[in-house]
């Protein structure tokens, strides 16, 4: 299969992308190269290869799910310009 200038023109029109006439040839050549790479990938034997979400086999570090920052309300609110009943007070921004 080969992508022609007419194909690029049609896809550009359907996509509502303005492509100058002078660029149609270059774009069709680039698309043909990309489709050539896809054809090469079709030749790769992937029988027995499990799908993967990443090419790197790193596992995420697992930590204990414990609360470590609790009981610091007074310390956190100490820098607040205004506080009330254990909460930050901010100016009203929506009427």
In angstroms, the CA 21 to CA 41 distance is 31
Could you tell me the CA-to-CA distances from 59 to 15, 49, 53, 66 in Å, in that order?
A: 40, 19, 12, 21
pLDDT by residue, tens only, the chain of 95 residues: 799 999 999 999 999 999 999 999 999 999 999 999 999 999 999 899 888 877 777 777 888 888 776 778 888 899 899 999 989 999 888 87
pTM of the model: 0.50
């Amino acid at each position: 299969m080969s992508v022609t200038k007419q194909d690029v023109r049609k896809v550009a029109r359907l996509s509502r992308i303005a492509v100058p006439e002078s660029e149609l040839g270059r774009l069709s050549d680039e698309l043909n190269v990309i489709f050539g790479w896809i054809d090469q990938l079709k030749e790769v034997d992937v029988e027995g290869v499990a799908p993967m979400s990443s090419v790197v086999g790193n596992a995420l570090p697992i930590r204990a799910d414990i609360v470590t920052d609790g009981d610091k309300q007074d310390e956190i609110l100490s820098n607040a310009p205004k506080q009330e009943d254990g909460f930050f007070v901010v100016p009203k921004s929506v009427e």
